[in-house]
């Protein structure tokens, strides 16, 4: 009775495993690519270039730079002369008259004309004796500089996102290779187990266990293949391309792990080059100019104005067709009900906020550099350990297979060795790409230009 139950259980297990294997094979089948679809081969530099052209965040930042440039032009215009022309036509009534005695009696003369047309050309020049216009121009220039640094920061962030997605594709493809190798080893063990069972040297349990192992690694392979497709879609999305666009990525040359520069040196480099920090410092200087602009509201202003006039029908009472006038206008503020004081208060608050923002940004940058630095050290050590671990696991599997073929060990020893090797190889892949990712993040953290970042990779 017990033997019958055992055989029934074994038959049910075989049916279940066969169903799972068929399901795994079916899931591996992917829909064929449409005819005429070309698979694009991308390098990292090409992927970054495409993203910088398509990414909406970059495009928005570029427009902000253009806007800031327009503000500089607007501010500078206050230092230069202004020329304007105007024409007026006036109809008045009643017309005033005056009586003038003459030898023949009195004559009535109109003082003004019922209709008058005047053309006027005006030239004005502000004399910035308060320094307000110059301060506004400097503030606008500093704001333009800050926006340019902001654009550089956005470009670096987008480039890092592309690098992460690009390395994600390479990582997924490497994990798929690990799954392929693990499945091949499991199938080889299944072949040996079947031969030994047919020879009567092992129980059918060894065949069942080997089949279970093959099914498990088929599951992992399906997951790895799906991971590759997801990673490619993510890279397309990051580049601003159609997520369904087929692509392949170029594998960079293998690199050996190297120790990063001292963290203090990297932090000093970041302090001098990081766009976010340079942007914050420019904003502090712009806020200081804002205080000067506010203080100028308490100082006098001076402007020169010259007019050239032409009257089509001047008054007959001493009127001239062509006239000119020149004016020097001096304005001294005496009382503005606290308006200037309020503006000054706002400007000082803006300056303090800008300084606090600079301090916060600097601390964040220093933390980012340190995190990237520690991640490199961690990944380097993991790579060292994983390399030795893979060698030992591969040797352990080889010995386990030899022992099993010789009848000196069980199937469990072989399957355990297969799982251990697959895990060791997975750890090695993750450590390697974590190292590359940490290097990319360190380059971004120190503010390295995009060209240097590409060369590092």
Q: What is the pLDDT of residue 378?
A: 94
Q: Which fold has domain 40-79+131-298+338-456?
A: Outer membrane efflux proteins (OEP) (1.20.1600)
Q: What are phi and psi of 107, to 5 degrees?
A: -125, 130
pLDDT greater than 90 at residue 172: yes
Nearest to 419 by CA among 183, 194, 219: 183
Q: Rounded to whole angstroms, what are the CA distances from 41 to 46, 159, 290?
A: 9, 18, 51
For residues 396 and 420, is the Cβ–Cβ distance under 8 A? Answer: yes
Q: What mean pLDDT comes out for the span 59-63?
A: 94
User: What are 291's two structure tokens?
Assistant: 């205080």
Considering only residues 247 and 102, tell me which one the structure prediction assigns the higher pLDDT: 247
Percent of the chain scoring above 70 in pLDDT: 88
Q: What is the pLDDT of residue 298?
A: 86
Q: Which residues of 439-454 are buried (b: 16+ CB within 10 A; e: fewer)?
A: bbbbbbbbbbebeebb
Q: What is the pLDDT of residue 182?
A: 93
* Strands in 192-291 per DSSP E: 247-249
Regarding pTM above 0.75, the answer is yes
Please report, for the chain, the start and end positions of each structural domain, with discontinuous segments joined by +: 40-79+131-298+338-456
pLDDT tens profile 185-240: 999 988 988 988 888 888 888 899 999 999 999 999 999 999 999 999 999 999 99
Q: What is the pLDDT of residue 292?
A: 92
What is the crossing angle of helices 339-405 and 263-273, to 10°?
A: 140
Q: Indicate the range of 157-171, 381-395, 407-421 predicted with least confidence.
A: 407-421
| Degrees to nearest 5, angle at CA 103 with 101 and 109 | 35
Across the chain, what does the average pLDDT equal? 86
Q: What are phi and psi of 375, to 5 degrees?
A: -65, -35
Q: What is the pLDDT of residue 105?
A: 74
Q: Rounded to whole angstroms, what are the CA distances from 249 to 43, 49, 132, 296, 437?
A: 6, 14, 56, 59, 16
Q: What is the pLDDT of residue 452?
A: 46
Q: What is the pLDDT of residue 451?
A: 52
pLDDT greater than 70 at residue 2: no
Q: What is the pLDDT of residue 93?
A: 75
Position 399 confidence tier, pLDDT thresholds 50, 70, 90: very high
Q: Indicate the range of 337-341, 364-368, 408-412, 447-451 predicted with least confidence.
A: 447-451
Distance of CA 405 to the CA centre of its chain: 56
For residues 145 and 71, is the Cβ–Cβ distance under 8 A? Answer: no
Q: What is the pLDDT of residue 257?
A: 82
Nearest to 52 by CA among 162, 195, 194: 162
pLDDT tens profile 88-100: 988 877 777 777 7
* Spatial separation of the C-alpha atoms in residues 39 and 33, rounded to whole Å: 10
* Spatial separation of the C-alpha atoms in residues 43 and 46, rounded to whole Å: 5
Q: What is the pLDDT of residue 221?
A: 95
Place of tokens 């600079």: 358
Position 252 confidence tier, pLDDT thresholds 50, 70, 90: confident
Return the DSSP state at 128.
Answer: -
pLDDT greater than 60 at residue 261: yes
pLDDT greater than 90 at residue 307: yes
For residues 362 and 271, is the Cβ–Cβ distance under 8 A? Answer: yes
């Amino acid at each position: 009775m017990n033997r019958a139950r055992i055989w029934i259980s074994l038959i049910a297990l075989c049916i279940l495993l066969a169903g799972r294997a068929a399901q795994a094979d079916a899931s591996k089948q992917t829909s064929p690519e449409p005819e005429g679809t070309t698979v694009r081969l991308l390098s990292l530099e090409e992927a970054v270039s495409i993203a910088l052209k398509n990414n909406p965040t970059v495009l928005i930042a570029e427009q902000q730079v253009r806007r800031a440039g327009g503000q500089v032009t607007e501010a500078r215009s206050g230092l230069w002369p202004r020329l304007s022309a105007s024409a007026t036509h006036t109809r008045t009534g009643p017309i005033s008259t005056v009586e003038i005695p003459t030898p023949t009696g009195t004559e009535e003369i109109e003082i003004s004309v019922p209709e008058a047309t005047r053309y006027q050309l005006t030239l004005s020049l502000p004399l910035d004796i308060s320094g307000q216009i110059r301060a506004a121009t400097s503030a606008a220039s500093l704001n333009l500089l800050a926006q340019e640094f902001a654009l550089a920061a956005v470009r670096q962030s987008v480039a890092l996102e592309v690098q992460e997605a690009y390395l994600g594709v390479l990582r997924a493809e490497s994990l798929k290779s690990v799954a392929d190798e693990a499945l091949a080893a499991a199938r080889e063990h299944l072949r040996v187990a079947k031969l030994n069972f047919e020879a009567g040297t092992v129980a059918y349990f060894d065949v069942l266990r080997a089949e279970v192992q093959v099914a498990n690694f088929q599951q992992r392979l399906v997951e790895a293949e799906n991971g590759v497709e997801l990673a490619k879609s993510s890279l397309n999305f990051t580049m601003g391309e159609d997520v369904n666009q087929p692509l392949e990525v170029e594998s960079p040359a293998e690199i050996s792990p190297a120790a990063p520069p001292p963290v203090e040196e990297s932090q000093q480099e970041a302090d001098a080059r990081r766009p976010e920090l340079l942007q914050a410092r420019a904003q502090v200087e712009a806020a200081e100019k804002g205080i000067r602009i506010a203080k100028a509201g308490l100082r006098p202003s001076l402007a020169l104005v010259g007019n050239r006039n032409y009257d089509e029908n001047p008054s007959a009472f001493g009127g001239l067709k062509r006239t000119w006038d020149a004016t020097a206008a001096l304005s001294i503020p005496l009382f503005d009900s606290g308006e200037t004081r309020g503006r000054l208060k706002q400007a000082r608050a803006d300056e303090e906020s800008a300084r606090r923002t600079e301090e916060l940004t600097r601390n964040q940058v220093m933390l980012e550099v340190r995190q990237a630095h520690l991640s490199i050290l961690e990944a380097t050590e993991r790579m060292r350990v994983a390399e030795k671990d893979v060698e030992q696991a591969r040797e352990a599997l080889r010995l386990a297979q030899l022992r099993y073929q010789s009848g000196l060990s069980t199937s469990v020893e072989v399957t355990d060795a297969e799982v251990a090797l697959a895990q060791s190889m997975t750890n090695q892949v993750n450590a390697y790409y974590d190292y590359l990712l940490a290097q990319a993040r360190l380059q971004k953290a120190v503010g390295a230009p995009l060209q240097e970042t590409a060369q590092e990779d």
